[in-house]
Structure 1
Amino acid sequence: MGVGERLRDARMERNLTLRDISNKTRISEKFLENIESGVFDFAPEPYVRAFIRSYARVVGLNPDEVIKQYDAEVSALKVKKEEKPAVKKIEFDIGTFVSENVIWIIGAVVVLFIVIIAFVGLGEGEKKVVQKKSFESAVEEVSKGVKKEVKTEIKAEEKSVKDSLELKVISTDSVWISVMIDSSTVKEFLMPPNISLTLKARDNFNFILGNAGGVKFILNGRDLGSPGRKGVVLRNYIISREKLEKINSTPAP
């Protein structure tokens, strides 16, 4: 029985759900699912070990014993990855290949020759068509080109609006972050101290913070500070376009 199965069985014996474990340990349910499935590469090893210890305590297992089993499993996986299968050498006899496939080779040469002739003929035909183009056709093509450039400019403008919110996240302590961008895309991060990342959105960011005092935000160059105290779990913390407009309307000190 692997570490993941052992933790899952202990959880089920206590009639606990993954959400119960998540609420008690502040570990994402997604991470807990990975651990129970024996997938340990979802985060740096120190974090995985800390998650497994916390999980083991909640379900009544000895954390040290579970970590020893985890170390053994990880070592076994590393050994399997390092083992490389023997590569079978393939010898290629060109003379035998030609003699056995001479008909196919001749056919391929003939087809290639026909394609080249057709391509050359098509090119000449296109040149004649270009020479016969009227003044009106040329004007129409120029007009299409202008319309295409205008559409490109509009798309560039839409993109600038889409990415108009730029949020810099700076960790001052170890912190776990889950953020929903524009009510659609969800991202999760494990940030050690003194690390920064930049997020972009059209309308808003909605955060869950495992350590509200371990992070601070800078929105489009304006310092928002820290959203809470250290060790506090903060949910539904929203940074939106309205917040940016309110900040911009307030004179900087």
Structure 2
Amino acid sequence: MSEENIANHEQDVSLGNKLSILRKELNLSQTDIAAKIYIHSAIIQDIENDDTLYIPDVFFKSYIKSYAEIVGLPPEEYLPFLKMKSKQRPKRKMKNYSQKPQQKRLGNILFFMTIVIILFALGITWFSVWKDNNQNLVEVNHYTATSESTTNI
């Protein structure tokens, strides 16, 4: 092969193929690489087959970086590929796993319960004060003399 064909062939080789070739040169299996990166070997197989659309960007970049470090691929060879891939990959909207709506709902419930307890306490206080006022009332009829009794004396 001429040098021009070799250069074209190197450009045609994908990052997955490069990583696979380097892995095989080091006599490492996909399982070995997966164990070193702490991922499933099926992901390594997908990376080598360039079938990575379902892997989130954050993980994909770190997997490639770790894999490249293990097999000795310099960053200047895989970084352009990562930039190109990140532009091609569809952007996915992340799900919101925040508990803010749940916390807001809990806050509303606590506020409502606090209002109910305060109103209940005020009601009991008002009732007890009203009851005490009614018991302290003395009927004036017992202390006043009627006009007939005063004239008889």
- TM-score normalised to the size of structure 2? 0.47
- TM-score normalised to the size of structure 1? 0.29
* Higher strand residue share: 1
| Higher Cα Rg, which structure | 2
Taking CA–CA contacts closer than 8 Å with sequence separation of 6 or more, which of the two structures ends up with the larger relative contact order? 2
* Higher helix residue share: 2
